[in-house]
Amino acid sequence: MPDFMTLALVGGLLITLISAPVGTFMLWRRMAYFGDALAHTTLLGLGIGIWLQLPIQLSLLVVTLIVAISITRIKLGNTLGTDTFIAIAAHSSLALGMLAIALLPAGRIDLMGYLFGDLLSLTETDLLLLSAAAAIGITTLVYHWRGLVMNSLNPELAQLAGYHNAKLNLILAILIAVVVAISTKLVGALLMTALLITPAAIARRWSTTPQGMIIGAVIIGWIAIAAGLALSWHYDLPVSPAIVSILFAGFIISRLIGKRH
């Protein structure tokens, strides 16, 4: 296997190790649109990073964190729903990002790579970043496991049990923002939510415990990464769409099998 394929495979396995558990919590909380909104904001981070000559990964992380924390912490009252604010934040960030990128001198950026991902361009430095993010993310989830699960399934009960729901919501929002920021290079802004949500949706059909669902989502994500890279190598297909297409096929099969049984 060529070195760039090995780096792509290891990078894909690393990011799935944290994106699948985070995506599982998003599924339990019905936060798919939240993840999609953060994916849109990465284009604004990209534009800002290029204009200010900042490291792109740092710029993506800062912008997604700001938006995620703002959505979680801002109290809108009864005049504006949270979903409305998320929609405004998502599409405004997308529009501003596209404008910033459009004003750049020609040839400054490969926009398609950020929209649809460029897994095959991962470097050893990227793997170190993914390893650190996966380690921090998994440690955070393990440490706050009981509180996050209870808060996801029954916030009122979590409050009565002594857990701080606002703090747990903020922790999860930060984790989602970190995963979105570091995964942009892997699967792209437009396909990000599929990588987060679909493995968990497939695993849900056969899981009987929260732990089992997360483990199943990770394994399904690993299979999709490996199969997508294999298809890309043998049939000269774009990697990220191949991975997401495999996940979609797995989701359809899981629904059909679930109905039969």
Residue 107: which CATH number?
Answer: 1.10.3470.10
Among 245, 102, 249, residue whose Cα is nearest residue 187: 245
Among 244, 212, 217, residue whose Cα is nearest residue 115: 244
- The domain tally of the chain equals 1
Q: Cα-flanking dihedrals φ and ψ of residue 84, to 5°? A: -65, -45
pLDDT tens series, the chain, 261 aa = 678 889 999 999 999 999 999 999 999 998 888 988 898 898 899 889 888 888 888 899 999 999 999 888 775 454 566 778 888 888 888 898 888 888 877 555 667 777 787 788 888 888 998 999 999 999 999 999 999 999 998 999 999 999 999 999 999 999 999 999 988 877 787 778 888 999 999 999 888 899 999 999 999 999 999 999 999 898 988 888 899 999 999 999 998 886 544
Distance CA 247, CA 20 (A): 12
Among 244, 242, 199, 198, residue whose Cα is nearest residue 218: 199
- What is the domain extent for residue 250? 3-260
Q: Which residue has the tokens 């361009």?
A: 121
In contact, 24 and 200? CB cutoff 8 Å: yes
Which own/partner contact pairs does 100-109 have at CB distance under 8 Å and 24+ positions apart? 100/44, 100/46, 100/47, 100/48, 100/50, 100/51, 101/43, 101/46, 101/47, 101/50, 104/47, 104/50, 104/51, 108/50, 109/46, 109/50
